[in-house]
A and B are shown apart, each in its own frame.
Chain A
Amino acid sequence: MNPDSNIPSTGPKPHMNPYLAGVLLGLVLLASFLTLGVGLGASAGIARAGAFAQSCIMPQHVADSAYFGTWGKDPLRYYLVFMFVGTLLGGLVSAIMGRRVRPQLERGPTASRSRRIVMALAGGILAGFASRVASGCTSGQALTGGAMLATGSLLFLGAMFASGYAMAWFVRRQWQ
């Protein structure tokens, strides 16, 4: 196969077959189970970055706080922080290879810039908060726990899509 010859050299390459991408993702997750002994995760890395940022401004407050305080002086010394950095790097390499690095604010054709920014920020705050409540996100709960067949993680997956679909109708104009 030499797909390069068929594709204009400036445009993005097509994505991988989603089923094969899923197999690849599943194999990475399985490798994580069998080597680290834990699954994949993303939200903990973000939360720890948040704790770190806050402790730069108010170190004592963070050290004394009930949740972040338990992460010790150096919240970034944690395997999921390293995993998050790896995720960024892996995404970057893949995006460069596929010529898909496109600096932009991605939004629907009728959505304004400010509307998109507000939606991304509000969604981020909610998702960040929710992932602390549930100790995980799409990766750490739904994907990891789902593959383990853990009852609570499968319920998280179900609840996530249930409220997602319920809410989707209200914000449908974002992408129309």
Chain B
Amino acid sequence: MITTFFGQDGLGSSAAFVLSLLLGFGFGFALEQAGFGSSRRLAGIFYFRDMTVLRVMFTAMVTAMLGLQLALALGVVSPEQIYFLPTIYGAQIVGGLLFGVGFVLSSWCPGTAAVGLASGRLDALIFLGGAALGSILFNEFYGIVGPLATWGDSGVKFMWAAIGVSGPVFALLFSAVAVAAFWGSEWIEKKVAGAGPYLGSPFLKAFSVTILVGALAVALLPPATSSTTVTAPAAVSETGMLQAMEAGEDHIDPDELADRLMAGDSSLLLVDIRTPAEFAAFHIRGAVNVAAADLPEVLGPHKNKGTVVLYSNGMTHPAQARDSLARMGFANAYLLTDGLQGFMQQVLKPVSLRSTPLSEAQAGKVNAWRAFFLSGPQSHAAKTVDTASDTPRLVETSWLQENLGRVDLRIIDLRPQPAYNVGHIPGSVRMDVEHFRGAVGGVSSMLLPADLIARHLGLLGINLETTVVLVPTDKLQDATLVGMALERIGHMRYAILNGGWEQWVAEKRPTDTLLPTITATEYPVPTGADTFTVDYQQVLALSQNRGAVLLDVRPGDFFAGKKSDEARAGRIPGAVNRPFTLDVSTNNAVIRFKPSSELAEAYAKLIPSKDSPVVVSCRTGHQASQTYFVLRHLLGYRRVSWYDGGWAEWASRPELPIETGGG
């Protein structure tokens, strides 16, 4: 039994590359030997004066076809070891029609042009340049033509199965047609061009007999490894799944659902049984929203007609609903495997974020799905926010709206409770920044220890996989301080909604007043995630280090010591001032961070390099969290520390030195 590179997922290995080079060598050698290094000769087939292309191509197909059928019948290789090309009706017919025109215009095709170039043909080089350009055009217009490449995708389909015979029998029929075509091509070539060199020759007679006898032998050979060799190729994927489903399985897989929706399957009724608010926030394109209690009535006309697919976020509710419908006599109700969450993962997850590499065809399919089910401009943001390790710290309102309803997304609204209760982003929960700080070790307004933060997040139903989006108040530092809390427990999947609630409302995006349903989780308490918080002793040591930058982000008057709410007025010796208010801009009550380019320029004047040690501080650590966010996450400074105790603590310790004046 042969194990192929495809079978062991090794087509990307160096050994496969070397083997490909060798096989390519044989390919090029055979093509050139056949005379395909000449465009004039290739063009001959279209004018019946030189039918070499037909002879070579059909002989090669018959040879490989019989060899493959023989290998499968003898069990030398199993079907799983071979990548069978999928049938994509629209793509292959339209692509074939276009390709034929290109072929006849240029008298080249990609493989023959390679040997044409090797034979010194300038027109082959021009063709190859054109073909590369044509590929680039396909990529550039992928948004428009991409769906064509998956149009009519029907999985692996064999011609022999379509006409109801076995592979070897079809190969015999094909061989007979090929032999007839050989004789016909010799005859027509003689008529048109006075050629037809092998017509009636002993060689062609012997060759024809050899092919037919060989094909007959393959067809008569009993399948050695029972029936699997004949039926297995078709059963590998789609067919098997469909049969399993028809056999009584009660679910439909997300990719199948996606394909049928995209194909405009009118026999399919997709029903979203979540709340209207969740439905309004996000639903699968083409779904209708029906409350579970209304299902029997609404679905009545669809009883045992077509396919009804139910979904919710998970699988429990749809499964119960489906069972209930089944008891009422609905034999055509299915539930979506893994619910909306599964659909997100299997259909809508960007190719770049998938853990297993996809083939070109699969990737094209995913892109087509995404283009169909997610309209337009959000794909970029979605691509980035999903990454656990490198979540962008700012997301835009458009992205959030398109990701509403995602079960692995938790929106935390930090605005005051009355404001939240009057209206909020659907599915969001309210939390106050004050829930994350308190008196620790005698110092007030300190960020709480990791275990308490973890407990809070668990109560909000957040787990390690949750992406947290923070909706800031009119103070961005509230959101950045909650960000510090998340970072303290190592939860880096978080982002701040740029522009916040004000922008959301100004853009007339959906809101509601409902409380989300949340199941509390146990968030594991990490250790050692917080490497950025420093205490007064570390700050004192750093203040004596000439390379370190102490950034005091309080307003100028406090920095200069002219104003004070604390035991002493002034600043940590050596500190420089950069008020946190300079990093944000307000426009019609919408508060946003200033553009990164502007921020980068300002901080480049204060901090020598991205690797310089920087300590940010203010009065209580609150405002400094915003500067920390800017430096660390928006500008990429690598060694930023945060003095949580701030001036409130520093001023209360009389042994610590201070500085006043300037500012």
Contact = CB atoms under 8 A, between A and B. Distances in A.
Contact of B119 (A67, A91, A124, A159): A91
A25 B65 CA distance: 12
Contacts of B558: none
B110 A21 contact: no
Interface string A47-87: 10111011000000010111111110000011110111111
B328 interface: no
A91 B35 contact: no
A43 B134 CA distance: 11
A113 B62 CA distance: 38
Nearest to A26: B63
A66 B367 contact: yes
Contact of B92 (A42, A141, A171): A141
B105 A16 contact: no
B24 A83 contact: yes
B362 to A, nearest CB: 9
B591 to A, nearest CB: 30
Interface in A106-148: 106-108, 116-117, 119-139, 141-148
Contacts of A67: 138-139, 142, 146, 364, 367
B138 A155 contact: no
A160 B131 contact: no
Given A30-B64, A126-B98, A127-B103, A36 B27 contact: no
Interface in A10-33: 15-19, 21-33
B40 interface: yes
A15 B469 CA distance: 69
Contact of B128 (A46, A71, A108): A46
Nearest to A134: B95
A42 B360 contact: no
Contacts of B22: 86
Interface string B16-33: 111111111111111111
B236 to A, nearest CB: 13
Contacts of B130: 120-128
B57 A22 contact: yes
Given A66-B143, A138-B111, A165-B46, A22 B71 contact: no
B59 A131 contact: no
A171 B148 CA distance: 28
B199 interface: no
Q: How large is the interface on A (under 10, 10 to 19, 20 to 34, 35 or more residues)?
A: 35 or more
A159 B100 contact: yes
Nearest to B49: A175
B237 interface: no
Interface stretch (B78-86, B244-252, B317-325): B78-86
B63 A36 contact: no
Given A30-B67, A67-B364, A128-B134, A89 B92 contact: no
A103 interface: yes
Interface residues of B, number: 141
Interface stretch (B2-10, B452-460, B470-478, B621-629): B2-10
B416 to A, nearest CB: 40
Contacts of B55: 18-19, 22
A75 to B, nearest CB: 11
A128 B136 CA distance: 9
B135 A46 contact: yes
B181 to A, nearest CB: 12
A18 B121 CA distance: 21
Nearest to B148: A133
A91 B127 contact: no
Nearest to B363: A70
A41 B67 CA distance: 19
Given A131-B95, A134-B96, A149-B159, A91 B37 contact: yes
Contacts of A95: 32, 37, 115, 118-120
Given A28-B26, A85-B24, A133-B145, A37 B111 contact: no
A155 B104 contact: no
B131 A43 contact: yes
22 contacts: A23-B60, A23-B63, A25-B60, A26-B61, A37-B81, A50-B131, A69-B352, A77-B12, A91-B32, A95-B119, A121-B106, A121-B126, A125-B134, A128-B134, A129-B134, A133-B91, A133-B145, A134-B99, A136-B85, A152-B92, A160-B103, A163-B96
Interface of A: 15-19, 21-40, 42-47, 49-51, 53-54, 62, 64-71, 77-80, 82-95, 98, 100-108, 116-117, 119-139, 141-168, 171-172, 174-175
